[in-house]
Chains A and B, each alone.
Chain A
Amino acid sequence: MHNGNIKLKGSDERLNSSDKGHHSDDLMLLEKIRKGDSLAFELLIRRYEKPLYDFVVRSLWDTDMAEDIVQETFVKVFLKSNQFKGEAKFKTWLFQIAINQVRNLYRSKKRNPVNFIPDADIDAVPDLQTVTGEFLNVEKKQLMRQLIEQLPDKQKNVLLLRVYQELKFEEIAEVVGSPVGTVKANYHHAINSLHVRMQKRQSESHAVL
């Protein structure tokens, strides 16, 4: 009944496939988009919607704004699809557009970040012995999130792309338009600064307790 041509892969699994194959798939989809293929555009959206949302929402910590930025980024992808030459990976180009969108948003709106405490962490009720430990864990994540948010934009973007998107430094350099050495320096500076501030804040809270 079926010729077996369909590869049973979800988008998440595909993101782990080899870079080369992934890149040529992207190029093929973009070529089809240029020819007016709406299915190809939808597939491209499906392929990158989650990593893109992850990156944007971690930059803004506001779901409404993140949704808007994701939409706008894909609109830009469509409008600029003719400008993508395929020399870099599509994903780096996509994040480049997203970063510009976020920058434009900062310029046009005064940011009003939500004080987000994830439900998953609140709802998870551990057994009695681990209550204190779990609570501290939630607190730690919350603190960590706030400290990341306070990083200068250049450091924050590099950190988010490296830690959560697992891009190589060379790819991050393409996204942010800086030399690889600067990107590495920004990353290590961000990590060291976070580490120092985390340790400081934790020792302060222990002193209070």
Chain B
Amino acid sequence: MQCCKVKKLLSAYVNHDLGAHETSGIRTHLQSCDDCSNEHASLVRMLDTMKMIPIPEPAPSFWGMLPDRVRYLLEERHIITGEHSVRGWFIRYMEQWRPLLLGAALTSVVFLVIPVVTNTPDAPESEASHLSTLLGDREASVRFGYMDIDWQSKEMEDILSRLGVNHKSITELKTIRSETADHSVKLLKQKKELLRNIHSYQLETNGRGNFDEAMAELGRTEQKLLQLKSEEAKKVAEFLGEKDMGRLVVEWDVLLRNKKLNQNGLGGVQKQEKGEK
């Protein structure tokens, strides 16, 4: 094989993207040709360097806030387009992807029955266990930081009992929570207000200064919130153990969602929206 051909095929050779015949031809050539062998070594070094190019990190609060930001964008667009609620908007999307349901929407009975039947929640425990397989401990801790758990509720007591936490310990857990609850509620309100302001500044022509200031403030609030929540998460994790905290987080989320579905039902929400119109 000639040098010019070998050099042309080196990238494919390094990438194991050649047939056996060409691969063997190049290998033999490299053993006897210093020039091509140096070229090969240089290419491998370049690929190694390329893989080690680091990336600039996003703002510190970016990872923690991403799901909230996405949710907020969805909500905002929904408001801008004059829709009534995120939930109602979401149901409209469901209709689009489920043509059968859309077709059947000719009668209100179908609206009341099909969504409820198709969305009948799984038993909270089994679904929580299913979702738990996707949620690692680390993510559970992160998620815990963004959850608003009602520690006084009967449902939470049930979850804790299922995890084997006795009554006395439940009281202690509630105390841990109440130590930080007021502060965190205040910070969450502040964060919501800032996000609202940031969005309105984005729409203003001369809002850049306010926007930057609000973004900086949002970063600081987020930091405080993260610190507060991580302290709380640490205490709860120490108390329950990380594995059970993961289970608690998922069970609470699933329970909350299923409760909402049972209360409203998708048809119920649809009916309510029709009434509003």
Partners in one complex: yes
Specify which chain A residues have a CB less than 8 angstroms from the CB of B47 in the assembled complex.
163, 191
Contact assessment for B129 and A3 in the assembled complex, using a CB-CB cutoff below 8 Å:
yes
Contact assessment for A49 and B63 in the assembled complex, using a CB-CB cutoff below 8 Å:
yes
Residues of chain A from 153 to 209 with CB closer than 8 A to chain B in the complex: 163-164, 169, 184, 187-188, 191-192, 194-195, 198-199
Contact assessment for B73 and A71 in the assembled complex, using a CB-CB cutoff below 8 Å:
yes
Which of A43, A58, A184 is B131 in contact with, Cβ under 8 Å?
A43
Which of A7, A81, A116, A163 is B136 in contact with, Cβ under 8 Å?
A7
Residues of chain B from 123 to 172 with CB closer than 8 A to chain A in the complex: 129, 131-139, 142-143, 163-164
Say yes or no: A82-B93 contact (C-beta < 8 A), given A6-B243, A148-B50, A191-B43. yes
Contact assessment for B93 and A79 in the assembled complex, using a CB-CB cutoff below 8 Å:
yes
Specify which chain B residues have a CB less than 8 angstroms from the CB of A2 in the assembled complex.
163, 241, 243-244, 247
User: Does A144 interact with chain B (Cβ within 8 Å)?
Assistant: yes
Q: Write the nearest CB–CB distance from A40 to chain B, whole angstroms.
A: 8
Question: How far apart are the CA atoms of A142 and B63 in the complex, in Å?
Answer: 26
Q: Write the nearest CB–CB distance from B238 to chain A, whole angstroms.
A: 15
Stretch from A29-37, A95-103, A125-133 that touches the partner? A29-37
Contact assessment for B51 and A58 in the assembled complex, using a CB-CB cutoff below 8 Å:
no
Count of inter-chain pairs, beta carbons less than 8 A: 163
Contact assessment for B53 and A141 in the assembled complex, using a CB-CB cutoff below 8 Å:
yes
Stretch from B103-111, B181-189, B193-201, B249-257 that touches the partner? B249-257
Contact assessment for A81 and B97 in the assembled complex, using a CB-CB cutoff below 8 Å:
yes
Which of A36, A46, A67, A141 is B90 in contact with, Cβ under 8 Å?
A36
Which of A10, A61, A199 is B139 in contact with, Cβ under 8 Å?
A10
Specify which chain B residues have a CB less than 8 angstroms from the CB of A82 in the assembled complex.
93-94, 96-98
Which of A36, A43, A184 is B134 in contact with, Cβ under 8 Å?
A43
User: Does A20 interact with chain B (Cβ within 8 Å)?
Assistant: no
Per-residue 0/1 for B237-268: is the Cβ within 8 Å of any A Cβ (1 yes, 0 no)? Answer: 00001011011001001100100010000100
Specify which chain B residues have a CB less than 8 angstroms from the CB of A14 in the assembled complex.
134, 136
Say yes or no: A37-B257 contact (C-beta < 8 A), given A63-B56, A141-B52. yes
Specify which chain B residues have a CB less than 8 angstroms from the CB of A41 in the assembled complex.
67, 70
Contacts from A to B (Cβ < 8 Å): 1-3, 5-11, 13-14, 25, 29, 34-43, 45-46, 49, 53-54, 57-58, 61, 63, 66-67, 70-72, 74-75, 78-79, 81-83, 114, 116, 118, 120-121, 137, 140-141, 144-145, 148, 163-164, 169, 184, 187-188, 191-192, 194-195, 198-199
Q: A29-B134, A54-B55, A141-B52 are in contact. List 14 more A-B contacts (CB 8 A).
A: A6-B135, A34-B94, A36-B90, A36-B119, A39-B253, A39-B257, A41-B67, A53-B58, A61-B56, A71-B70, A81-B97, A118-B54, A164-B51, A195-B46
